[in-house]
Amino acid sequence: MKNLLRRASPPSKNNFAMKKQNCRTNPTNEITVRSDYLNNSEGLSCEINTSISVRLVRAVTSPVPFFFSLKNSSFEKTISMAGCSFRAIWILTPHHSVAFSRTFPVVERRWRSACARDGEVETQAPLPSDLEVAAAFTDRKQREGSAHGFGIRVASSTPGSDSWVDDPVTRHIITLHINREEAEGYMLWPVIVHTSGNYYILVLPLVEPKKVREYRKLYQRNNCGGSVKEHDDLSSLLLSLPCITGAFMVAHAIGDLIAGETSDPEVVATSSSSAVGGLLDTLTGSIGIGVAPRPKPTSVPILASASSAATLMGSTLVDSSRTMTKPIDKDLLRGFISGSMPYGTPVDLNQNNIAAIRTTGFGSADPPPADLRQPAWKPYLYRGRQRVLLMTQETINAALYDREDIPDSFSISGQINCRAELEGLPDVQLPLIGVKPAKVKMLSVHQSAQYSDHGEDKQAIVFSPPVGSFVLARYQVSHATNPAPVKGFYQLSLVSEDGGQFLFRLTLMEGYKSPYCMDFCTIIMPFPRRRILSVDGTPSVGTVSMTERSIEWKIVTSGRGISGKTIDATFSGTVRFHPRVVNKSLSVSLSKSVLGCTAAEDSDEERESSNNSVNVEDVLMEKLNRDLEAVDLEEPLCWRAFNYAKVSFKITGGTFSGMTIDPKSVSIYPVVKAPVEYSMQVTSGDYILWNTLARSPHAAVPKDLC
């Protein structure tokens, strides 16, 4: 405890400066002081239940001056609502009952005083109860068609609904109408919605009442919708509210927590002797107490981009996995919330940091460095064997058409994952090779890093690594130096309503030499709207299996990766489906809600179109398309409307873009001898072979890229 207190109070010199800063003077001689800590006794009782959180807060925010807000003081008038605080967090089950809720009285008090200052009487209503939130959420779902809503204005939208604002972001930033029997109802905005593991996470950040008013104007506007050119539009509102972005960060952090996902990126150690663990392992290893070291995995196989790609496919292929709901570990959640956002203000959302502080605290073994500033995001310093693990991960999204009128399109996004197990607070310089030829665009780097671009092949990233695995940089490549790892075409011709012939002709790993190695390659032909009866045909390579809704062709199976050779694979055959069962009710109800019209002429349309079309396939597609549902705005396209084959593969030993890191030229300051291990892998994202014989989605390529 003594130790903690010592840590909690910054050096006295700084402390003094802060006190001086407490009073802010401006030319109009107003003084603004504020405090979230002392103003609110009711908040204290629940917040300061662990000294650790206080310590963390101090550690994180120590350079920030404390402003004190004084009750009954005229100075309150100038309180700024900037910054990021949350009034409440709710977690709703799939059935729209509140599974968890947390309100922050400190923030609520600020909200109310702001309302009083602005003369907003109606918004001073107390926060809704859990039941009211659940009812309001259900109500909105009914009004807006789904839990997230339409997102853009449809025929059934009315003023006073989110879709009226006509922006996709309203699927994520929603309005709740709280209806009260005994009193006036009111609207709650902005409520951030994030879905994770079937739970809806709702976060209500604190914004100035006038911003709520501005939004209300937008969403009750009586004209046909805003344009970017109008200054009072949603965009400028969102730009002026960083707390919304903060709320999303929190929502995602909570979402990861309740879904049991870690946000750690994958880092693969190439030498089998070395072990890679999480932050906790590092800590426990170094401190040597309590928790026995877990079995060391060679990789932590969760990747943000990969998971998003999986969701894309999941919606088309597997529906059953999404219905499972894991119960919430409320203790864990409470601990996380009070640790990461004391008093409703987020300080550090790193799950590992919070968990580590919670479980281990700070021991005498890790005193703060005397001469260096320890960053707030690195509460612990690493101690142990030093090494640097680097990994480049690239994901290829490709649309292969094999048509003259549409060029194939590739987009490669990559990231550099890093795990620098280095003692102290060193700086690491990481030169990048092949940036220019690959036309790499650096999208973002870690907070601790700086990207310097000094001409031809002199690009480097300098960073001071945090503890544990992290994504050092993300980039996008518009022009890859390597050929496509899987080339060829897929043709499917529906010869009758219940059957079709297909043909694949593919070339794998052409132009790739060792050490490139294809770990696996699988092709899936999904038929989400048909039930497959049988598949005939034998591929030249690999095995074929069939499920009810898809055909899977394993060309290269994992464990038997191919390296240094080219594979030609062909597969032709026929597929038969069960007879189609028309289900009109869904499409009709959708068309009603979206278009505001009935599809009363269905029978007419059917006959009419069958008269007009000559091609059997067109007729079939058109018939099928009539039952299509509208997809969510999160989807890139209506997958079900197309015939395609999706290629999944993984290639190790190199990058697709050609951009690499030379492990030997990684320099560390202060100089230490630490081995640098570097691995590379390329995985497929949406690697789609569109049916050459049918319509397929594509996008225009800007002229300067042609």
- Contact positions with other proteins (CB under 8 A) in 145-164: 150-155
Supply the angle between the helices 351-360 and 242-259 in degrees, to the nearest 10. 60
Which residues, numbered 441-480, are part of the site for other proteins (CB under 8 A)? 441-448, 450-451, 464, 471, 474, 476, 478
Site string (587-606) toward other proteins, x via CB under 8 A: x--xx--xxxx--xx-xxx-
Here the tokens at position 317 are 């292929």
* Window of 108-116, 128-136, 439-447, 669-677 that interacts with other proteins by CB under 8 A: 439-447
Q: Does 655 help bind other proteins (rule: CB under 8 A)?
A: no
CA dist list (Å): 464 to 426, 451, 679:
6, 12, 21
Contact between 701 and other proteins by CB under 8 A: the answer reads yes
Residue 155: other Cβ atoms inside 10 A: 11
Asked if 349 touches other proteins (CB under 8 A), the answer is yes
Q: Which of 96-104, 220-228, 482-490, 507-515 is the region at the interface with other proteins (rule: CB under 8 A)?
A: 220-228
Nearer to other proteins, 100 or 475 (CB): 475
Residue 210, C-beta contacts closer than 8 angstroms, at least 6 positions apart = 118
Pick between residue 303 and residue 422 the one whose CB is nearest to other proteins.
Answer: 303
Element (H, E) at 515: none
The stretches of 288-387 forming alpha helices (DSSP H) are 304-317, 330-340, 351-360
Q: Token match 């009709």: residue? A: 588
Contact region for other proteins (CB under 8 A) — 537-545, 548-556, 624-632, 663-671?
Answer: 624-632
**Interaction with other proteins in 290-309: which residues (CB under 8 A)?**
304-305, 308
Name the one residue in this structure whose structure tokens are 């999944």: 648
Judged by DSSP in three states, 8 sits in helix
Q: Which residues contact 641 (CB under 8 A, 6 or more apart)?
A: 625, 628
Least CB distance to other proteins at residue 72 (A) = 6
Q: What angle do CA 297, 298, 299 make, to 5 degrees?
A: 90
According to CB under 8 A, which one of 71, 454, 664, 673 is a site residue for other proteins? 71
Within 10 angstroms of residue 232's Cβ, the number of other Cβ atoms is 12
Q: Is 20 in the site for other proteins (CB under 8 A)?
A: yes
Q: How many residues make up the chain in this entry?
A: 706
Closest distance of CB 321 from other proteins, Å:
20
Rg (CA), the chain: 29
DSSP notation for 355-381: HHHHHH---TTSPPPSSSPPPTT--S-
Residue 335 beta carbon to other proteins: minimum distance, rounded to whole angstroms? 17
Is residue 341 involved in binding other proteins (CB under 8 A)? yes
189 binds other proteins (CB under 8 A): no
CB 269 within 8 A of CB 298: yes
CB 105 within 8 A of CB 117: no
User: CB of residue 570 vs other proteins: minimum separation in angstroms?
Assistant: 26
Q: Is 377 in the site for other proteins (CB under 8 A)?
A: yes
Q: Report the nearest approach of other proteins to the CB of residue 398 (Å).
A: 9
Q: Which of residues 474-493 bind other proteins (CB under 8 A)?
A: 474, 476, 478
| Stretch near other proteins under the rule CB under 8 A, chosen from 132-140, 227-235, 560-568, 648-656 | 227-235
Interface with other proteins, residue 409, by CB under 8 A: yes
**Residues that contact other proteins, how many (by CB under 8 A):** 155
Question: How far lies 293's CA from each of 78, 286, 382, in Å?
Answer: 52, 11, 16
| Per-residue interface string for the shown chain with other proteins, residues 248-287, x marking contact by CB under 8 A | xx--x-----------------------------------
Site for other proteins in 559-588 (CB under 8 A): 587
Half-sphere exposure of 664 (CA within 13 A, CB side): 0
- Least gap, CB of 686 to other proteins (angstroms): 5
